Amino acid sequence: MKHTVLIFFLLALAQLLIAQPQIKFTATEYDYGSIKEDGGVAQTVFEFVNTGNQPLIINNVKATCGCTTPEWTRTPIVPNAKGTIKVGYNPQNRPGAFSKNVNVYTNTQPSVTILTIKGKVEPRQKTMEEIFPREMGPLRWKSNYLSLGTTFNQEKKEGTLDFINNTAAPVKAGVYRTPEHITVKFVPEVIDPGKEGKIMVTYDAAKKNAFGYVSDRVYLSLNDEKQNTYSIGVSVTIQEDFSKLTPDQLANAPVAVFSDKVFDFGTIKQGEKPVHQFKLTNNGKTDLIIRNVKASCGCTAVKHENVIKPGQTIDLTVEFNSRGKRSRQNKSVTVITNDPKNSTTVLRVMGTVEDVAAK
């Protein structure tokens, strides 16, 4: 009797395993080739057939990004019947090569089939306004801000900004106010209608005599008209050049060591001003000089001495003003010294400010 039951169970299980839907695609990958960015949604259709002996149900179709819009046969597909999955790719603002997957979830085993679409989007031709989005009087600029990156404190750094004259008359360009460490040249100085030009900026870090991130503004004259809105921002991060130090100078250099680098003031009420002393010790053999201390916001005040003798420890006092602040706060204080091995240290000030008025 037991053997009969077992045989019956195995036969039923085999019948269950055999009685299944099966999905078979004509192809699981489609290459669009080259499509245009402004050509609209590119469509393709994946065809499949139910090769099993039970109705096939597509439970869901999910794309790996919002740029694809799948549609599919939502009614059960009987054995030997066909179905389709339509996939669209929107190339707008997506120039370059792409490869995306579409996951098809069914009542088959395995339950997931992966379809792939790929291709290359040819970028559309941009308008003049898109290429030169910043309008400044008679000129349009690619940007009104020039970042020169990093330079040493005794070097000069150069950079350029591009512009175009989109008016019907020539434009005479010049500079009427600029810091003495920045020199500016227009090429050309007179820009014909519809023509492009560039402004060439030279930054003399030795004349600036500063360290860390610094920014300036250059004011322009366009057709002899001087306005504060005719200006560009220039920024640079200035580092001290230790590359010329001898082995003896490095061995006797100052060494900056902080006792801690994080001040967590916990939870305070709005308006309170927690204070913390970061301990800074000079473990080197010559004077440690603080070149610059800069807080990430005006709410953080820092007091300190500028010169630390060998073996000396000073307090770098940080005060956080919570007035007008609320919820979680995370501020930084960047300390730049003449330690050649560790010239920049970032200190953290953090905590939570309770909004008293909200209670």
Q: Judge whether residue 248 has pLDDT over 60.
A: yes
Cite the residue boundaries of each domain of the chain with CATH code 2.60.40.10.
Answer: 2-122, 128-239, 247-358
C-alpha torsion sign, points 57, 60, 61, 67: positive
Assign 19 a pLDDT band (cuts: 50, 70, 90): confident
Name the architecture of domain 128-239: Sandwich (2.60)
**CATH number attached to the domain at 247-358:** 2.60.40.10
Q: How does pLDDT run across 335-359, given as a tens digit for each residue? A: 999 999 999 999 999 999 997 665 5
**Residue 251 three-state SS:** helix
Assign 14 a pLDDT band (cuts: 50, 70, 90): very low
Cα distance between residue 333 and residue 300, in whole Å: 8
Which of 61-70, 171-180, 196-205 comes out lowest in average pLDDT? 61-70
Phi, psi (degrees; rounded to nearest 5) at 305: -85, 155
Q: Judge whether residue 2 has pLDDT over 70.
A: no
In sequence order, what are the beta bridge partners of 334? Answer: 294, 346
pTM over 0.85, yes/no = no
Cα distance between residue 176 and residue 184, in whole Å: 10
Mean pLDDT (whole number) for 217-233: 95
Which of 9-13, 87-91, 213-217, 319-323 comes out lowest in average pLDDT? 9-13
Assign 193 a pLDDT band (cuts: 50, 70, 90): very high
Which of 8-17, 73-82, 218-227 comes out lowest in average pLDDT? 8-17
Q: Give the pLDDT score at 67.
A: 78
Q: How does pLDDT run across 123-141, given as a tens digit for each residue? A: 999 999 999 999 999 999 9
Q: Give the pLDDT score at 16.
A: 47
**CATH number attached to the domain at 2-122:** 2.60.40.10
Those residues with Cβ within 8 angstroms of residue 106's Cβ, 6 or more apart along the chain or in another chain: 21, 23, 56, 57, 58, 59, 112, 113
Assign 4 a pLDDT band (cuts: 50, 70, 90): low
Mean pLDDT (whole number) for 321-325: 93
Mean pLDDT (whole number) for 18-29: 91
Assign 3 a pLDDT band (cuts: 50, 70, 90): low
Q: How does pLDDT run across 283-318, given as a tens digit for each residue? A: 999 999 999 999 998 888 898 899 999 999 999 999
Q: How does pLDDT run across 76-109, given as a tens digit for each residue? A: 999 999 999 999 999 999 999 999 999 999 999 9
C-alpha torsion sign, points 300, 303, 305, 306: positive
Average pLDDT, the chain: 92
Assign 8 a pLDDT band (cuts: 50, 70, 90): low
Letter string b/e over residues 112-140, b meaning 16 or more CB atoms within 10 A of that residue's CB: ebebbbebebeeeeeeeeeebeeebbbbb
pLDDT above 90 covers a percentage of the chain that reads: 88
